[in-house]
Amino acid sequence: MMPGMDNNLLCADRVIKALPTEVREVLQVAVYDTVGSTNDVLREKKGQAALHGAVVLAEQQTQGRGRRGRRWCSPAGANLYCSIGWRFDGSLEVLAGLSLAVGAMVAEQITTHFDADLQLKWPNDLYYNEQKLGGILVEVLGDVTGRQSVVIGIGLNVNMPEEEGASIERPWTDLSSVVGAEVDRNALAGAVLAGVAGGLMQFAALGFAHWQAVWRRRDYLSGRSVVIDGSPPIAGIACGVNDCGALLIESTAGQLAIAGGEATLLDIGPAS
């Protein structure tokens, strides 16, 4: 740990104190110093009822990962690396749009508590001012007796040291730059967990359709020219997400709903 950082160390008691009572009853929060990946700590609980509501926070990840096998920059004592285990009743379809919904839950909480109006880049990146601030990695562990077990990983750049951030290949920012002050990670973790736990209960009852309107208000790609990777790649104008979380593209072949992939902007500058 770097000197001077200990007053902003993660502390399970402080995180729990920041949670509303109804959420405290649902979550079991554990704080680790160093892990490979917080998602992997929870994956080991696969098949166990204890997965539901288990939360792992870590000061540092040595094997932090993002979507598509990318590395997630996870230096010690700087950011938020958080995973939540959850079980949903039903078949795989009940998970449609889950990772987008979690992005919306996190963005709403950060706006409320830190006055930072984040945008959502399909499928599950958090953006501020054209730069990536965080991402969501949902891993489905499979069907256990008619239930879907998932691990939801949330990575937020919070107080990222410049020298560590230099290794990130895409434009990035962190929450302390956005708000202009060092961010209390325990308060942030409490706010994020409160929003996500409450949101997951709503998602279990109402699905993604409930979050679609939130998503559309924060849609970073809306109205912009994009290309979706694949063979062949698909180019067009992004025009929102449908009620399953698929990206809608207005292309020369008409309107398409893209269920998965990576969207790259073709224009530069903010959306009009």
Residues that bind ligand BTN (CB under 6 A): 37-39, 61, 64-67, 70, 72, 81-83, 125, 135-137, 153-155
Report which DSSP code applies to 264.
E
Q: 154 or 196, CB closer to ligand BTN?
A: 154
Report the residue closest to ligand BTN, judged by CB. 135
DSSP string, 85-113: EEEEES-GGGGTTHHHHHHHHHHHHHHHH
Query: Both tokens of residue 202?
Result: 């709503």
Min. distance of Cβ 103 from ligand BTN in angstroms?
10
Place of tokens 């292309």: 251
Q: Which residues contact 200 (CB under 8 A, 6 or more apart)?
A: 84, 86, 102, 105, 152
**Burial degree of 258 (CB within 10 A; 0-12, 13-18, 19+):** buried
Q: 14 or 67, CB closer to ligand BTN?
A: 67
Min. distance of Cβ 119 from ligand BTN in angstroms?
14
Min. distance of Cβ 272 from ligand BTN in angstroms?
26
Of 237, 195, 207, nearest in space to 219 by CA: 237
Backbone phi and psi for residue 214, each to the nearest 5 degrees, phi listed first: -60, -45
Of 7, 221, 266, nearest in space to 123 by CA: 221
Q: 39 or 236, CB closer to ligand BTN?
A: 39
Min. distance of Cβ 147 from ligand BTN in angstroms?
22
Min. distance of Cβ 17 from ligand BTN in angstroms?
22
Q: 70 or 237, CB closer to ligand BTN?
A: 70
Q: 39 or 186, CB closer to ligand BTN?
A: 39
Min. distance of Cβ 205 from ligand BTN in angstroms?
26
| Alpha carbon distance 62, 72 (integer Å) | 9
Q: 38 or 173, CB closer to ligand BTN?
A: 38
Q: Determine the distance from the C-alpha atom of residue 32 to the mean position of all C-alpha atoms in its chain, rounded to a whole number.
A: 19
